[in-house]
Amino acid sequence: MNRRMVLVVLGIAALVVVAITQYANKEADATTTGTKPKAGYPAPIVALPDLQDTAITVGGSKDKLTLINFWAAWCGPCELEAPELQQSFKKYGDKLEILGINATSYDRERDARQFVVDQKLTFPILMDREGDATTKYKVSKFPTTLMVDKNGMIVERINGIITEEDIDRFVRQYADANPNG
């Protein structure tokens, strides 16, 4: 009985050590990146190439609000929201930067490029070929959109289709209500 009790105690101690180690590793990951990709946290900073292979920085302080939209060419909901994103880009170009990030590591680049042509998208499209941005922003569903204020802080995260009404509200709430901040 004594031996059995010792084994039980050792087993419980081992489980506690494993749990503490896993928790510490998760905390260390959050600390080293300095970000959590949700409202109230800074948007992760990553540089991605656009369709002409010019590096564009996502995240950080900007002169405008930023809408970051993760999408894939095979994604039906992404196709549904594309015209509304384009319309909002035309409507709010002076107040809002729209960045479309193709999850190229989950997509085919030629399909993504054809999607841009078919949808007549004129806002910047970035290619996440290595999946760096998708990983840093913890995107697992498409489309996923993050609204980022001028200070580089995420103010909203929308998993699923974003509507023109959502974007109108975002601009009213964060640009029109606070034009200097």
Ramachandran category for residue 125: left, alpha or beta (phi over 0 → left; psi -120 to 50 → alpha): beta
Q: What's the pTM?
A: 0.79
Nearest-5° angle of CA 38, CA 40, CA 160? 30
Of 57, 29, 32, residue with least CA distance to 45: 57
Tell me the residue type at 98: I
The pLDDT tens digits of the residues spanning 81-128 come to 999 999 999 999 999 999 999 999 999 999 999 999 999 999 999 999
Q: Which fold has domain 46-176?
A: Glutaredoxin (3.40.30)
- Asked if 133 contacts 48 with a C-beta cutoff of 8 angstroms, the reply is yes
pLDDT digits 0-9 by tens, 64-74: 999 999 999 99
Q: 57: how many CB neighbours lie within 10 A of its CB?
A: 12
| Domain residue spans of the chain | 1-33, 46-176
**pLDDT given for residue 175 in this prediction:** 84
The Cβ of residue 114 has, within 10 Å, a number of other Cβ atoms equal to 12
